[in-house]
A and B are shown apart, each in its own frame.
Chain A
Amino acid sequence: MLKRIDAALEEVRKPVSTANGLPNAFYTDAATFAEEREAVLFANWSAIGFASDIAGPGEAMPIDFAGMPLLAVRDREGTVRVFQNTCRHRGMILIEERRTITGAIRCPYHSWSYALDGELRATPHVGGPGHNMHDDICREALGLIEIRSHIWRDVIFVNVSGNAPDFEVYAADLIERWREFDQPLFFGGADSAFQLEVDCNWKLAVENYCESYHLPWVHPGLNSYSRLEDHYHIEAPGLYSGQGTHVYRPMIDDSGSRFAEFAGLHSRWESAAEYIALYPNVLFGVHRDHAYAIILQPVSHERTIEHVAIYYASADMLAGDRAELRAANSAMWKAVFEEDIFVVEGMQRGRHGVRFDGGRFSPVMDGPTHLFHVWVADQFVAASHGG
């Protein structure tokens, strides 16, 4: 790593009141993005998709994770696994579109075929036409390469490096913080999922999400009932950060219908809600009557796809009589997240200003965002030291 980058990262790791943000290269440079893929995304537990997208037995979906082809599969016993979507023969992509595997995963190139648990089941003609085995082709050693995975709150996390602590250790603090919300989540379905494609580096979406500082200006609709002073910082150095509000109001329609609430919550959740970025790339929101997850898919150093899924507290909320309310809730959140697009894309363009020094942080208002910058810097420093 260049010495000037080392020096710049040390500026990031200073206290929030005097720190600079990550250097421009972390947002505008493809080579730095490639380093970041290894040091940040692959070295930690990163979100790649939703388990509810492969809800049934045999369902499989290909996922492009920062250029790495992955395949998430649910077997007939309900177990979800993540594999490299790469045939062990000649490296062909196995599955191009989401579909249900009724038997085996057959490579379209030479028909090597794999079971849903990754076992290599067939190597047709590998020893010549009509000869399906060869002494030097050991099927036991050529199963699909599995990537370490874990599911939490319907989000599929992967640790590509294989070296991160177990997920339950990695996310222990947040799991404990939201222990009350550790209960079944019911995905709202097609009307409760949407994607936003933004021309910005994925980290900018995290940085914006973490702070409430921008709310009065970017989300003026909140000013009437959720003022800046109604929000509080959530800061877990090295783990996650975000914001909470003391004045959440659930959605109620004209007939008085509302969503069912999660059971057994502390009374503070009557009016509280929390919004947390679990490093590196997933944004969660919890409320007494619904929750959501936003998976940030890094497409390139300056393009991100935000995958949003909204969940409810009971299966009854998935019924037709709640369809309008679900749609209204989805539309509300989509509008809020769309309001953020111009600022994250604006920051991305601003980062091309070559004299920009990474910026400064409000010592009072930008703590959560600064913590994320520090965490990213720490990952790069650790990677450069072979950690």
Chain B
Amino acid sequence: MVAEAATFGRGSIDAALLDAHARRDNAALVSLYVQAADMFEESGEEDAACFYLTHAYVFALEQGLPQQAGLHARLCAKGRDRPRDGQGIGSAAPSYPWARRPHHLPW
């Protein structure tokens, strides 16, 4: 959780990312990748910024973190990802040929 509160310079953020990866601290990873993206965005390095923003988004998506929507929106605004309908993961209607039959417990 330390990584979420700290702000790193460009030189030290790589080490912090590696540490967060090693600890499998996904919340920290999202925060750190956003910090990296922000740094590169401020310096006008758009491709690098979007690279890190993508990582932040994917880890937030995987974990179901609330930041995912905002991160995705930033990427879409930059033309680096496409919007989708619906309000969150798992809500889109499936498009498969057989009828969906809910299987609820106990059933």
Contacts and interface: CB of A to CB of B under 8 A. Distances in A.
B106 A186 contact: yes
23 contacts: A75-B90, A78-B103, A78-B105, A103-B61, A103-B65, A104-B64, A115-B89, A116-B90, A117-B92, A118-B96, A119-B92, A124-B54, A129-B51, A130-B48, A130-B49, A130-B50, A132-B54, A132-B80, A133-B80, A151-B103, A154-B107, A185-B106, A186-B106
Most chain B CB atoms below 10 A, which of A105, A117, A146: A117
A111 B57 CA distance: 11
A103 B63 contact: yes
Most chain B CB atoms below 10 A, which of A76, A115, A185: A115
B56 to A, nearest CB: 11
Counting chain B residues whose Cβ lies within 8 A of the other chain, the interface size class is 35 or more
A154 B26 CA distance: 34
Contact of B62 (A106, A133, A185): A106
A122 B57 contact: yes
A77 interface: yes
A130 B53 contact: yes
Contacts of A79: 100, 102-104
Given A79-B100, A118-B94, A125-B51, A104 B61 contact: yes
A106 B30 CA distance: 15
A118 B89 CA distance: 10
A315 to B, nearest CB: 9
Q: Give chain B's interface secondary structure class.
A: loop
B61 A130 contact: no
A93 B104 CA distance: 27
B55 A124 contact: yes
Interface in A121-151: 121-122, 124-125, 129-133, 139-140, 143, 146, 148, 150-151
A132 B50 CA distance: 9
Contacts of A118: 94, 96
B19 interface: no
Given A76-B90, A130-B49, A121 B61 contact: yes
A122 B89 CA distance: 11
A146 B100 CA distance: 11
Interface in B36-54: 46-51, 53-54
Contacts of B102: 77-79
Given A103-B63, A151-B107, A185-B106, A130 B80 contact: yes
A371 interface: no
A118 B101 CA distance: 15
Given A77-B102, A130-B54, A121 B89 contact: yes
Given A103-B60, A113-B62, A129-B47, 20 more contacts: A75-B90, A78-B103, A79-B102, A79-B104, A80-B103, A102-B62, A102-B64, A103-B64, A103-B65, A104-B61, A106-B62, A116-B89, A117-B90, A117-B94, A122-B61, A129-B50, A130-B47, A130-B51, A151-B103, A185-B107
A113 B106 contact: no
B64 A131 contact: no
A186 B48 CA distance: 53
Nearest to B78: A130
A25 to B, nearest CB: 35
Nearest to B84: A121
A143 B106 CA distance: 29
A185 B47 CA distance: 55
Contacts of B46: 130
A50 to B, nearest CB: 11
B107 A124 contact: no
Nearest to A145: B96
B87 interface: no
B25 to A, nearest CB: 14
Q: Which 9 A-B pairs have the closest CB atoms?
A: A103-B64, A130-B50, A106-B62, A78-B104, A130-B51, A184-B106, A102-B64, A132-B81, A80-B103
Interface string A42-69: 0000000001100100000000000000
B61 A106 contact: yes
Nearest to A116: B90
